[in-house]
Structure 1
Amino acid sequence: MCALKIDFGQWTAAGEKAVNQDACAARIPVGPDLDTKGITIAIADGIGSSEVSDIASQTAVEAIVSDYYSTSAAWSVKNALSKVVNATNGWLHARTDNSWARYDKDRGYVCTLTTLVLKGRTAHCVHVGDTRACRFTPTAAEPLTRDHHAVGVDGKAALSRAIGVQAAVELDYATSQFDIGDWFVLTTDGVHEFVSEQALGAHLRSDQSCQDIARALCQTALENGSNDNVTAQVLRIEQAPDKDTDEWLRGSETLPLPPDLQPGDPLDEFRVIREVHRSHRSSALLAQHRDSDQYALIKVPSVELRDDPAAMERFIAEEWIAARVSSAFVLRPFPRTLKPQYLYAAFEYIEGLSLRQWMRDHPRPSLAEVREIISQIGYGLRAMHRQEMLHQDLRPENVMIDAQGEVKIIDFGAVEVRGVAENHQERPRQILGTQQYSAPEYFLGSNGTERSDTYSLGVIAYEMLTGDLPYGPAAAKVRQVSDLRKLRYQPLQRKRRECPDWLNAVLSTACHPRYEQRYADVSEFIHALYHGNDLGYTARRQPLIDRDPVTFWQVVAVLLSLLIILQWAML
């Protein structure tokens, strides 16, 4: 695999001013961080009316190139950068509010900021203020930022948005696909207001290094009369990944499959005890660690899976995903002490039964039992959603219940990780989950959201109570938007008359055909499941034909008979 490689240079100078209030920084990591987080470049510009703006600028760029790499590898670049910038903004704003500048924010800890992250073959730009970032190809220039200026009553443009001015900051976000040979240039206004696009292009076409070009841009600006600080960052794409790469594939794709394992056979640091489960995708084995004597669940991909690269990626990803979700309700990976010699995944072993088996053993569970299980599944989903992960295959077979009644979500073969999915934007959409539990938007070709997992959880809750699916098999047959209107939710009372109307309303909201009508967060669904009656949930009155079609047609037949008799009587 080819790793991302750039030529990079930056230059900053105070110019005619006594203090340089600009700041710039970059981080070009090696190893896994290059794949999962990418290369980061940041540039900031202080405000002339502030005597401490240089502190704000330096703080902002240092936070970007350090704190960004402390965020979860599962997060999207946009989310990770937004978290870091908003935290930095809050800190600078609080410092201003506790200083002499609390009534005049322009004198406080404020600055502009532009950040560029190169990950895979995509450039992500987060921006506020009037620093600039632009991508240059051999034939065109693509601005990634716009100046945040407002024209005052005097007709002059003034900065309208900056870091540290308000408690919350509004950020611009843009992306751009790049290729080998492309350039990116970041500048402060002391440079781009005094260097024409033609002059900049001439510098990029020279044979100089990026470091020399950055210095030349600043010198050109000063020669053209710039009376401000000058800062420029220049980078050129020297090498780009041949394809989108993922950290978990590094080295794993070359490992051989284990031999046909029998009870008692060794597997690295484990000893196989027995086979637990086998499918066309993989086999699951109960094993014991040779040093700790702890039990582990070993998953081995099937030979047929080896011929499907996408499926192999998802298999290898499962252990990586499990390691990045901290929740008692999500399956954990088994800690390994040796480098594996074969391709397999190791997880904690759960001695219990699947939710599907539990449902067979408890065909008419109480509402309290359903609440307890659904809430635990919901807590696990919420932990995954905080890591910007969608399970996408939530079903009774993928939920385990141990002897103490504790629930764990298992099987991460269909999980979408936003921080990884943004590297695979050109891949066609696939429905990876089981159709009966997949939200209708998947069948319409749309991307899933957290509400899609909520739909699956709502369907499971409905099935636990009734033994059926809320729309029968019809939900899996949706292929166009008009099909959504044809779906008919079957009221709970048809199967269990004792179910209250408020519970029917809660479940019909959780698994509504249109995602925008569902709960925005799984925690809202859990709360409504416990407090729906107190919150005043009332079911939308279903037409009689939906609630009881037999009675409906009996009433219609009686009315028609009465009408015929009345007509005869009038003859």
Structure 2
Amino acid sequence: MQHRSARLLIVYYPAMDHLQSPLHISFAQKSDAGHKPENQDTVGARLPDGNLLTTKGIAIAIADGVSSSKAAREASQTAIAGFLNDYYATPDTWSTQQSAMRVIQALNSSLWGRSQNSIYGEGYLTTFSALILKGASAFIFHVGDTRVYRLRDQHLELLTRDHTQRIDKHTTHLSRAMGADPYLEVDMHSLELHAGDLFILTSDGIHEAMPPQELRQLAINQRNRLEVLVDQALQLALYHQSDDNLSIQAVSIENLGTAGQDDTLQVLSRLPFPPVLSPGQILDGLRIKKILHESTRSQVYLVEDDQKNLLAMKTPSELFLDDPAYIERFVMEAWIGARIHSPGVVRVMAAPESRSCLYYLTEYIPGPTLAQLLKERGILSIVDAVELIESLLRGIRAFHRKETLHQDLKPDNIVVGARGPVIVDFGSCWVASVQEAGAPIARDHILGTLDYSAPEYRYGATPGTASDQFSLAVLLYEMLTGKLPYGTGYSKAMDLKSFQRLAYIPAMKHNPLVPYWLDKALEKALSINPNHRYTALSEWLQDLKRPNPLWLTPRAQPLLERDPLKAWKVIAISGWICALVALLWRG
């Protein structure tokens, strides 16, 4: 059975236009039963356009049903059809690895379950290899003894390893297959693409029959005629007396998937910056009611549509007219916000008319920002502060479920409305799929506000979900004390040594009502080393709401920690006393 590529229905997101991938390939595939009565191999590919090409890439996959099973053909078809459908249905913010591995594990569980429940004792087992081409990278996911090769220049390299065990000279046993175990170990790796690369995926009916040198020479000779390549591969396998099903796919990289800088800037500059607006003005059918917030980076207005609905409009600052990195980040804000769904996150709204300039709309949430609330009320009660953090945790979890980091949690970006605290800004977000797609323009690496951002952003470690945890902990510390956990020196630190010289200031010092166990939960979440923080936000919340047994009783703090100067004085005096005693003893 042969499966040709299919076109996908594309949902259009204008905010992604500047990242449209120019990835271009040539592709051919062929599958044949060979000398067997039934073809138990399945091949398939999806070559999308538009935003899916940018966020998901091109997926090519091959599967070889385990012939000892009566359900081999159905297993391979299920694996290929399920993967090519479900991979593109995963959130477009997810990384390639997250999307592919979730789908592969789900398909494995389904096949394994069918094997266990089969009244005829059939095993739904298949090998599986997938190649995903995205931006300037290739991602390979592999189980079993199907193979992926790459021809670069004149060198043919095998990129996968066969999961087989040799029984004797003529017999091998498949040691890993989809559907064989409830949890599947998958080989996954990524590599950089070069224009001119040729990838070849084969079932064992091809590569077990053809000598490696013959496959290499065929690939070199026919690299520009892929239909001829796959046809001749089948003929040569039969010539070498292959007695198995025959399947092969060939894909040549014609153009890499990273947009050029000139094209990107042209797309980003399609919409002009709006002028500074005043109450009473009308823009695209929206009446400006008042200015909610303005800074050197943006303006936020309260606007009213023709149905009298109140909305918030965010516009870019004219100070950044010639800054492509700023413009890219601004146009991506609405795209990111539209993908995060939580009562704790502001909703992005559609514009009532076509936009004449650059801005985006969100729901309007009446209420003070957390910064205004703290200024008016001072420190909050422990109950109120923990309740606010619990609500914010739910909002941040919505970001993390979409493989998105907020990266700029601070009091000014949180509005305390009727439904609780709401995160209202997406200007510094990191999105896994967008990061993978790359960009032809330089992006800012240090984002957010220094007092609230995690230290790893500045000393070069890899940020992660623990980075947002750190920022939330700073917010809680400030709500309880009105201070910052490392004092004024924190915002000045820019390297690891500077951060290591800082000492956590117990919240109890500023607010005696903070219990010891709560202070320790804060200290852990505020660790300079992200590996020392909580592994999950739920664990931190549990320690905030009820005492961790490890921290019920305050331990005596060593003198060196409580008063370093006094401790060193004691050590010095003790040293002199010991020296004096030694002299007297000798005398």
Displacement of 1:266: 2.0
Displacement of 1:306: 2.4
Displacement of 1:351: 1.0
1:238-257 pair list within 5 angstroms: 238-243=254-259, 253-257=269-273
Change (3 A) 1:71 1:321: same
The question of whether the paired residues in 2 share the 8 Å contact of 1:14 and 1:228 is answered with yes
Is residue 2:302 matched to residue 1:283? no
The AA in structure 2 aligned to 1:212 is V
The AA in structure 2 aligned to 1:21 is Q
TM-score by length of 1: 0.91
Change (3 A) 1:154 1:540: farther
Equivalent in the alignment of 2:69 = 50
CA distance in 2, matches of 1:248, 1:50: 52
The AA in structure 1 aligned to 2:127 is T
Q: Deviations over 1:447-500 (max 9, x none)?
A: 210011111111111111111111113334444444444221111221112221
The question of whether the paired residues in 1 share the 8 Å contact of 2:268 and 2:327 is answered with no
- SS at structure 2 position matched to 1:8: strand
Displacement of 1:382: 0.7
- SS at structure 2 position matched to 1:436: coil
Is residue 2:440 matched to residue 1:421? no
Displacement of 1:514: 1.0
The question of whether the paired residues in 2 share the 8 Å contact of 1:144 and 1:174 is answered with no
Q: Percent identity?
A: 38
Q: Can you give the 5+ residue segments of structure 2 that lack an aligned partner in the other structure?
A: 1-19
Change (3 A) 1:199 1:155: closer
Is residue 2:530 matched to residue 1:515? yes
CA distance in 2, matches of 1:244, 1:388: 26
The AA in structure 2 aligned to 1:407 is P
Equivalent in the alignment of 2:13 = none
Change (3 A) 1:149 1:428: farther
Within the candidate set 279, 282, 291, 1:266 is matched to 282
CA distance in 1, matches of 2:500, 2:182: 44
Size of the aligned set, in residue pairs, is 558
- SS at structure 2 position matched to 1:341: coil
Is residue 2:513 matched to residue 1:498? yes
The AA in structure 2 aligned to 1:26 is A
Displacement of 1:207: 6.7
Equivalent in the alignment of 1:364 = 379
Equivalent in the alignment of 2:111 = 92
- SS at structure 2 position matched to 1:328: coil
Q: Deviations over 1:36-60 (max 9, x none)?
A: 1111111101112111111010001
Is residue 2:158 matched to residue 1:158? no
Within the candidate set 56, 73, 82, 2:92 is matched to 73
Range 422-431 or range 19-28, more displaced: 422-431
Displacement of 1:324: 0.4
- SS at structure 2 position matched to 1:111: coil
Equivalent in the alignment of 2:466 = 451
Within the candidate set 424, 438, 449, 1:434 is matched to 449
1:369-388 pair list within 5 angstroms: 369-388=384-403
The question of whether the paired residues in 1 share the 8 Å contact of 2:47 and 2:59 is answered with yes
The question of whether the paired residues in 1 share the 8 Å contact of 2:343 and 2:395 is answered with yes
CA distance in 2, matches of 1:487, 1:320: 38
The question of whether the paired residues in 2 share the 8 Å contact of 1:318 and 1:413 is answered with yes
1:252-331 pair list within 5 angstroms: 253-290=269-306, 292-331=307-346
Q: Deviations over 1:109-155 (max 9, x none)?
A: 01011111111111111111111112222243343322112334788
The question of whether the paired residues in 2 share the 8 Å contact of 1:114 and 1:125 is answered with yes
1:209-220 pair list within 5 angstroms: 209-220=225-236
1:74-223 pair list within 5 angstroms: 74-100=93-119, 107-152=122-167, 156-204=171-219, 205-206=221-222, 209-223=225-239
Change (3 A) 1:2 1:529: closer
- SS at structure 2 position matched to 1:324: coil
The AA in structure 1 aligned to 2:41 is D
The question of whether the paired residues in 2 share the 8 Å contact of 1:439 and 1:452 is answered with yes
Q: Deviations over 1:278-335 (max 9, x none)?
A: 1111111111112x32111111111222211111111111111110011010111012
The AA in structure 2 aligned to 1:87 is A
The AA in structure 2 aligned to 1:22 is D
- SS at structure 1 position matched to 2:140: strand
CA distance in 1, matches of 2:266, 2:397: 29
The AA in structure 1 aligned to 2:545 is Y
The AA in structure 2 aligned to 1:40 is A
CA distance in 2, matches of 1:142, 1:127: 16
Q: Deviations over 1:259-280 (max 9, x none)?
A: 3422222222322222222111
Is residue 2:430 matched to residue 1:411? no
CA distance in 2, matches of 1:145, 1:323: 38
Q: Can you give the 5+ residue segments of structure 1 that lack an aligned partner in the other structure?
A: none
The AA in structure 1 aligned to 2:63 is A
CA distance in 1, matches of 2:560, 2:479: 25
